[in-house]
Amino acid sequence: MKRSDQEFLSENMSIDIEWLKHEFNSSKLISFKPMLELFVSNLVCSISDKSPNKQMLEHFESATSSNEETQVYEILDSLRHAFASFASGGLYDLYVYQSNELWYPKIILKSELKPNDISALPDFINIYRGCNVSEYNNKKYRQSWSTSINIARKFAYQHYDSQAWYEKEKRCVLSAVIKKDAVYFSNQSNSEKEIAVNTEKLSNVKKDMCGLPKVE
């Protein structure tokens, strides 16, 4: 991947470059790596176009016309969706409207994302996350949590239960405490009561594997 593309992805879009390179170099994608890198480069160029979404769609149709591999199609579509969100509303739209059911670029916030309602939060916040138990075992926590344990339970045991990768016995709910000054984004008015945090500042992380709980 060109250095200029890597810099744009990392500095402008907050995409985890090391994670992306690892994905492109994985056994499942290595044979498609040149095509994927070219597609990313074309999307980067499209951002500065007068009609970025039109350009992105054309690049997407060109890339998928010669490739019928379902997994690759999903990755190309996810990349197009991510860049389209960024083109329409910058980093805010890219983060807020990301889709994590299937493959999606890993976004890591490095500073406060505005607008938000962080000022209304208490100094110390109890937060929860529904995820795979491997996240707890590896201590590699993602940034997106919730201030509602019930929402976290839904993400753990309901939202993804139709996905091929879902295994109920490997799902769990994490709880933790985070200080207000370690919060990068918060939207407590939406249904998910989302809060994005600096994961290096998490404290008192606990795991609860309680099977499929009752949720409202």
In angstroms, the CA 25 to CA 125 distance is 38
pLDDT on residue 212: 44
Average pLDDT over residues 20-25: 97
pLDDT on residue 214: 44
In angstroms, the CA 39 to CA 94 distance is 18
90-148 tens-digit pLDDT: 999 999 999 877 899 999 999 999 999 999 999 999 999 999 999 999 999 999 999 99
pLDDT on residue 99: 84
Could you tell me how many residues make up the chain? 216
Q: What is the dihedral of CA 6, 107, 181, 205, to 10 degrees?
A: -130
Tokens 């209304």, residue?
Answer: 120
48-93 tens-digit pLDDT: 999 999 999 999 999 998 777 888 999 999 999 999 999 999 999 9
pLDDT on residue 211: 47
Q: Which is nearest to 20 in space by CA: 196, 4, 33, 135? A: 33
pLDDT on residue 165: 81
Q: Are 202 and 178 in contact (CB under 8 A)?
A: yes
The answer, yes or no, to whether residue 216 has pLDDT greater than 60, is: no
pLDDT on residue 42: 97
If DSSP states are collapsed to H, E and C, what string results for the chain? CCHHHHHHHHHHCCECHHHHHHHHCCCCCHHHHHHHHHHHHHHHHHCCCCCHHHHHHHHHHHHHHCCCCHHHHHHHHHHHHHHHHHHHHHHHHHHHCCCCCCCCCCECCCCCCCCCCHHHCCCEEEEEEEEEHHHHHHCCCCCEEECCHHHHHHHHHCCCCCCCCCCHHHEEEEEEEEEHHHEEEEECCCCCCEEEECHHHCEEEEEECCCCCCCC
pLDDT on residue 210: 55
The answer, yes or no, to whether residue 30 has pLDDT greater than 90, is: yes
166-210 tens-digit pLDDT: 899 999 999 999 999 999 999 999 999 999 999 999 999 999 855
Predicted TM-score (pTM) of this structure: 0.88
CA distances from 165 to 6, 83, 100, 150 (A): 29, 25, 12, 22
Beta-bridge mates of residue 132:
171
